[in-house]
């Protein structure tokens, strides 16, 4: 049996983290998880600083337990009108199926935390217990300022090189995200070769070769999975897909239906939905966009803007075939129950 000491990660009573999931995790979900003894998280990458401030305040209204707030640190998209036009032209037949035409132009819809001074000031002011970074790291002076405000920090690594950068930057813990994980892959450099390490291998590697607490993320769906990761050297486990079916998540009915169906057993890591590799349940947009001869999608989040236009045209006709339904390889193992019950079950399974 694995014995968990709260000191292993920020004094948390259990080693269970509900992953930040921009657009899917809600204040109700994060608060329910934190209240039940886990660590809830909010993903604010697709929210404005004002929306994020309201989400943090709402979570606080539900609980005084600590929770995590997550931001994206991607390089601002290098715009290329020809690439964007080619992508829109490629999507034109899908728009036409929905009785629509592609937009004339695309936009950089989500500001990176790297250039979002307002989001930085908002976090300093709101002081969530923990802030985590995905896709890279903010400048060291910003990390220092957050820490001086009493905020603990975490950042995602998909390989040892990124983990070393995280350690050098003075971050407090590393989220080791394996290839199984649902949602966006946190890789820093999209041009670097991706070794696509599994969560188990990555956790062992980082536990041996860094001095920071390691949080395992990717494919963990129950207490046994958490226990296995603790045995491999993790200080805690971060679960995303396992929480999507909770009634407190923002997942819509169609997303839930897909997760309960056969579709859950087919996920793919793809750039065609957002412009960055992300794992979701296979749909027509993924299949179409990855066909041989397809042009390269524009960088994140410009491709996402095209997808959002397509989704809104499709959904008006009751068609969900183009929707982004992020999920990890463990999706068929997801269980449907309120978040507090799920955390209680995970704790029980972890101890059995």
Ligand X SMILES: Cc1cc2nc3c(=O)[nH]c(=O)nc-3n(C[C@H](O)[C@H](O)[C@H](O)COP(=O)(O)O)c2cc1C
Q: How far is the CB of 327 from ligand X (least distance, A)?
A: 6
**Facing residues of 156 across strands?**
175
DSSP letter for 65, please.
S
Q: How far is the CB of 182 from ligand X (least distance, A)?
A: 3
Q: Of 219 and 297, which has the nearer Cβ to ligand X?
A: 219
Calculate the alpha carbon distances from 112 to 152, 247, 292 in Å.
20, 30, 31
Distance of CA 182 to the CA centre of its chain: 7
Q: How far is the CB of 2 from ligand X (least distance, A)?
A: 19
Q: Of 177 and 270, which has the nearer Cβ to ligand X?
A: 177
Q: Of 83 and 232, which has the nearer Cβ to ligand X?
A: 232
Nearest by Cα to 108 from 273, 305, 311: 305
Which strands form 278-281's sheet, in the order they lie side by side?
183-184, 278-281, 267-270
Q: How far is the CB of 18 from ligand X (least distance, A)?
A: 9
Q: Of 220 and 314, which has the nearer Cβ to ligand X?
A: 220
Q: Of 105 and 252, which has the nearer Cβ to ligand X?
A: 252
Give residue number: closest CB to ligand X. Answer: 240
Strands (E) in the chain, as ranges, are 16-18, 40-43, 67-72, 130-134, 152-157, 173-177, 183-184, 214-217, 236-239, 267-270, 278-281
Tell me the C-alpha distance between 292 and 156, whole Å: 31
Q: Of 88 and 269, which has the nearer Cβ to ligand X?
A: 269
Q: Which residues contribute to the site for ligand X (CB under 6 A)?
A: 19-22, 24, 43, 45, 70, 134, 156, 177, 180-184, 217-220, 238-242, 244, 326-328, 330
8 Å CB contact between 55 and 115: no
Peptide bond into 81 cis (omega under 30): no
Q: Of 182 and 299, which has the nearer Cβ to ligand X?
A: 182
DSSP letter for 204, please.
H
Q: How far is the CB of 246 from ligand X (least distance, A)?
A: 12
Q: How far is the CB of 82 from ligand X (least distance, A)?
A: 30
Q: How far is the CB of 89 from ligand X (least distance, A)?
A: 29
* Strand 278-281, strand 183-184: pairing: antiparallel
């Amino acid at each position: 049996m694995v014995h968990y000491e709260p000191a292993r990660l920020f004094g948390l009573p259990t080693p269970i983290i509900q992953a930040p999931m921009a657009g899917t995790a809600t204040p109700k979900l994060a608060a329910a998880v934190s209240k039940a003894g886990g660590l809830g998280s909010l993903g604010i990458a697709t929210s404005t600083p004002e929306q994020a401030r309201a989400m943090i305040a709402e979570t606080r209204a539900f609980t005084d337990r600590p929770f995590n707030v997550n931001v994206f640190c991607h390089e601002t998209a290098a715009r290329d009108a020809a690439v964007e036009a080619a992508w829109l032209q490629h999507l034109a037949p899908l728009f036409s199926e929905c009785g629509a035409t592609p937009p004339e132009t695309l936009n950089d819809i989500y500001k990176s935390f790297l250039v979002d001074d307002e989001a930085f000031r908002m976090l300093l002011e709101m002081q969530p217990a923990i802030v985590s970074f995905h896709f890279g790291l903010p400048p060291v002076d910003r990390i220092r300022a957050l820490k001086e405000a009493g905020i603990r920090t975490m950042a995602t690594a998909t390989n040892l090189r990124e983990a070393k950068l995280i350690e050098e930057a003075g971050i407090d813990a590393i989220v080791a995200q394996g290839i199984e994980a649902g949602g966006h892959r946190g890789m820093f450099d999209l041009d670097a070769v991706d070794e696509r390490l599994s969560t188990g291998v990555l956790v062992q590697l980082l536990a041996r070769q860094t001095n920071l607490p390691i949080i395992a993320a990717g494919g963990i769906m129950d207490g046994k999975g958490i226990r296995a990761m603790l045995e491999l050297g993790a200080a805690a486990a971060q679960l995303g897909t396992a929480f999507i079916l909770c009634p407190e998540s923002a997942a819509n009915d169609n997303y839930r239906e897909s997760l309960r169906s056969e579709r859950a057993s087919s996920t793919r890591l793809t750039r065609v939905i957002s412009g960055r590799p992300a794992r979701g349940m296979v749909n027509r947009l993924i299949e179409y966009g990855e066909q041989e001869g397809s042009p390269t999608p524009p960088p994140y989040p410009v491709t996402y803007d095209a997808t959002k236009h397509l989704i809104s045209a499709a959904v008006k006709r009751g068609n969900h075939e183009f929707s982004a339904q992020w999920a990890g390889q463990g999706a068929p193992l997801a269980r449907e129950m309120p978040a507090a019950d799920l955390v209680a079950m995970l704790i029980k399974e972890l101890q059995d």
